[in-house]
Amino acid sequence: MPKADMPSGALVLLLLRVLRSGPLHGYAIAQRIHTLSSDVLRVEEGALYPALQRILLKGWVKAEWGVSETNRRVRFYRLTAAGRTQLAAELSEYGRVHEAIRSVLRTA
């Protein structure tokens, strides 16, 4: 089955939500999104790492070097207090937009 395109703006929401459960390195984040979406969503490296860098610069996550389960040196990302606040805002906006789309689909 072909990969599903990531809806515009969804990647940041998914990154913040996945990191709410605890620190992960980039590959583990991508795998978790893929697994939790029942293998529908794929996050390519070309989108993942620039998005992680953007949210790092905004202070929504912090990164520190560590060693992965395969004994490789990797950056682990963890959600900050500002990231938790942003996640709440992103979830609220997602809910608002999702409900508006459902309304159009029901009534059009």
The CB density around residue 86, as the number of other CB atoms within 10 Å, is: 20
Is the separation of the CB atoms in 98 and 92 below 8 Å? no
Domain spans of the chain, in order of start: 10-107
Cross-strand partners of 63: 77
What are the pLDDT tens digits along the chain (108 aa)?
455 667 768 999 999 999 999 999 999 999 999 999 999 999 999 999 999 999 999 999 999 999 999 999 999 999 999 999 999 999 999 999 999 999 999 998
β-partners of residue 73 are 67
Tokens for 35, please give them: 């697994």
Which CATH number among 2.60.120.260, 2.30.30.100, 3.90.600.10, 1.10.10.10 corresponds to the domain 10-107? 1.10.10.10
Closest CA to 33 of 60, 6, 71: 6
